[in-house]
Amino acid sequence: MHKESELRPPLILGDKTWHDITEDVCRPVESKANKWWWLAFSLAVAALLWWIVAVSYTLGTGLGVWGLNKTVGWAWDITNFVWWVGIGHAGTLISAILLLFRQKWRLSINRSAEAMTIFAVICAASFIVTHMGRPWVAYWPIPLPNQFGSLWVNFNSPLVWDVFAISTYFTVSLVFWYTGLIPDFAVIRERATTKWRKRIYTLLSFGWVGSAKNWQRFEEVSLVLAGISTPLVLSVHSVVSMDFATSLVPGWHTTIFPPYFVAGAVFSGFAMVQTLLIIVRKVLGLEDYITIYHIDMMNRVILITGSIVGVAYLTEFFIAWYSGVEYEQYAFINRATGPYWWAYWSMMTCNVITPQLFWSTKLRESVFATFIISIFVNIGMWFERFVIIVTSLHRDYIPSSWTMYHPTWVEAGIFIGSLGLFFTCFLLFARVFPVIAMSELKTIIKSSSEGAKKKHAKTVTQEVNV
């Protein structure tokens, strides 16, 4: 029999019944959008239009419209790619690893975190396709017979590993997310009052009837998918880091990269989850489900992963000195004091110093402080990738080819536009999908809700009195 300590705060506030949860979660789906949603959506779509313009211009004209040069051959494109892939990691960590660790607080946030993962991976993939310059041959990294026009892929290349890592990641995340959605879609289907809503959600819910057999299969599939997703949390960003670490470029070739990239990815992912959920809980009135305790727990993850990232920064810096390799040493001195010093110190401030503020319980439990710090972390993690990529490249082994990198409006457009793409997807998600995994959340109402805890405390007191 399950038992929960009194030390554990409730995960659902207010005396909620099962029906209350259904009502609260379905309300946004069943009602009309308010003007704030339309305003946000218009902004997102406007940014998305810029993305379409910038991408079309790039593909129509060629990669020359970007600020890349022969010394700095990778810059914003891969920075953005790694940034987006990293953001996706929180969803997988929440749904897979927190499931294995039996962290019940994941239940209020897993749905939107997983949605965020999927949209973030789509944004990431868009950078790979655009930086190829010729998307019509984007299938070339896939090992297809030579008749298709490309040469057989080079399996020694980490870029090919990346293709497999990211596509596996996307597929598993999508299946995991969708599996969780099925019972919730069925709930909306049952409640549907209009013909089209009924039809659409019938289609989406795959004939779910909520029988014991349905649930048993659901549980089994969830566990198997969690098992598959767990190594993916580590492998995806490890492979991404190997794009750099297998090279001979000082600042890129370092063995700590795989686990350090993973920690950084989880760090940035949780920051993005905070940014989104703080708005979502307010706008959709879900404060009873995404409570201060949830925010606190996520802030703890941010503090821990931020500290791991900090230790990794210092380790890299120290070992660069310790190695005695002149190039390695210069790469790090140049990062901190060279022409890109501002990027380096932005990264250090945002990623190492700001999360340390979360040692304060008061700040961890402050919605406002969390929101601000989460934005700082988002910015810091973008700069981290920029620093790794651009500062390592711009001063290579031959000083005569040293140069700077200047982004163009096209690159800025693709980056801002990818944010537009992301938010367009997320805002649509928040309108038509249940943003909280209500069926799963209902499983803890008897153990972890405020109502259940009050009832339990009352029983205990009565017993003591008897």
CB of 312 to another protein, least distance (A): 8
Query: Which residue type is seen at 15?
Result: D
**Matching residue, tokens 């993962």:** 117
CB of 4 to another protein, least distance (A): 7
Using the minimum distance from each CB to another protein, give the nearer residue, 17 or 42: 17
Cβ atoms 268, 285 nearer than 8 A? no
CB of 264 to another protein, least distance (A): 14
CB of 5 to another protein, least distance (A): 5
CB of 215 to another protein, least distance (A): 18
Q: SS3 sequence, 398-462?
A: CHHHCCCCCCCHHHHHHHHHHHHHHHHHHHHHHHHCCCCCHHHHHHHHHHHEHHHHHHHHHHHHH
Cβ atoms 181, 434 nearer than 8 A? yes
Using the minimum distance from each CB to another protein, give the nearer residue, 431 or 456: 456
CA distance to 14, 296, 311, per residue, from 451 (Å): 7, 21, 42
User: Within 10 Å of residue 36's Cβ, how many Cβ atoms?
Assistant: 11
Query: Which residue type is seen at 181?
Result: L
Using the minimum distance from each CB to another protein, give the nearer residue, 61 or 461: 461
Using the minimum distance from each CB to another protein, give the nearer residue, 259 or 407: 259
CB of 362 to another protein, least distance (A): 15
Q: Using alpha carbons only, what angle is made at residue 220 by residues 168 and 167, rounded to the nearest 5 degrees?
A: 5
Using the minimum distance from each CB to another protein, give the nearer residue, 93 or 430: 93
Q: How far apart are CA 51 and CA 80, in angstroms?
A: 13
Q: How far apart are CA 67 and CA 408, in angstroms?
A: 6
Using the minimum distance from each CB to another protein, give the nearer residue, 36 or 322: 322
User: Within 10 Å of residue 17's Cβ, how many Cβ atoms?
Assistant: 13
CB of 107 to another protein, least distance (A): 17
Q: Interface with another protein by CB under 8 A: which residues?
A: 1-8, 100, 102, 231, 234, 238, 242, 245-248, 253-259, 307-308, 311-312, 315-316, 319, 322-325, 446, 456, 459-460, 463
Using the minimum distance from each CB to another protein, give the nearer residue, 204 or 445: 445
Query: Which residues, 6 or more positions from 380, have their beta carbon under 8 angstroms from its beta carbon?
Result: 346, 347, 349, 350, 351, 354
What tokens were used for 266?
């989880």
**Matching residue, tokens 């009052």:** 193
What tokens were used for 31?
């009602």
Using the minimum distance from each CB to another protein, give the nearer residue, 104 or 431: 104
CB of 217 to another protein, least distance (A): 18
